[in-house]
Amino acid sequence: MLSARGARCLRACLGVSLVAWCAVPTHADSQAPADLRAAHQLAVRSTVVVSSPIGEGAGWVTELDGVRVVITNRHVVQEIHRVDVIYADGVEAGGLVVHRSSTLDLAIVVPGTDIHVPPLPVARRPLMRGERVVLAGHPGGMRFITSEGVVAGAAHGLVETDRACGVNANCAVIDAETHFGNSGGPVVDAQGNCLGMVWGGMTNTSFTLAVQAESMARELATVAERIHAYRQRLRAHGRRRP
């Protein structure tokens, strides 16, 4: 049995030890939240509103062959040719839909003025199960909202997902709720890379389907040269608003 003095010393030592243990996080603990906060900032500043007579959706900025463009879902623009692009800082520009994918739910918009926000690099790797990601968009009419989710897997062979994300591409399944207005928004990792694009939520679940970036990267590479040539013609003719 400890003496009264020994007990006091033990309590004091334990108190110091516990304070030190609680106050000093591990390197991983201190880094992860900061990385994720940075990802929220990177995602939202590169996200845009894509507005047209048929409604609003999300899009995000990337760079193709030195030209910054806006990527969104094909179903956001449907057959519309001219849209308005609204950036997070309130700047607006007219945009022209210059490409609609025949295999992915993907479209490319070229604004009539130079894009002044930083582009998101398109990752060339699949989303990894268990990976935490940031989603950005405009759910329920609220603009430039970010949320977090965990990659839950991939959807294979479902009629709905094949139609949504492309017959030859697998949709990623993310454990995060999305709503009208999230479509076309980016899925971003802790390093600020775009790993996918939100397609929409699965009915009666909390899961979201996303077009995977590695599938998008292959298609974007095939149209980059054409987009660059179009942009050069746009500048040569002095057209500032499509």
Within a domain: residue 14?
no
> What's the structural domain count of the chain?
2
| Percent residues over pLDDT 90 in the chain | 58
Q: Which residue has the higher pLDDT, 103 or 56?
A: 56
- CATH number of the domain within which 175 lies: 2.40.10.10
User: Taking 80 as the threshold, does the pLDDT of residue 18 lie above it?
Assistant: no
Q: Which of 37-51, 195-209, 210-224, 225-239 shows the lowest mean pLDDT across its residues?
A: 225-239
Residues 113 and 159 reside in one and the same domain:
no
Residues 52 and 91 reside in one and the same domain:
yes
| Rg, Å, the chain Cα set | 23
Residues 144 and 171 reside in one and the same domain:
yes
Residues 108 and 50 reside in one and the same domain:
yes
Residues 142 and 174 reside in one and the same domain:
yes
Residues 226 and 186 reside in one and the same domain:
no
Domain with 197, as residue range(s), is 132-214
CA distance 10 to 4: 10
Residue type, 92: E
Alpha helices by DSSP H, the chain: 4-23, 27-45, 74-77, 159-165, 213-236
With a threshold of 0.75, does the pTM exceed it?
yes
Residues 109 and 137 reside in one and the same domain:
no
Residue 161 has what pLDDT? 52
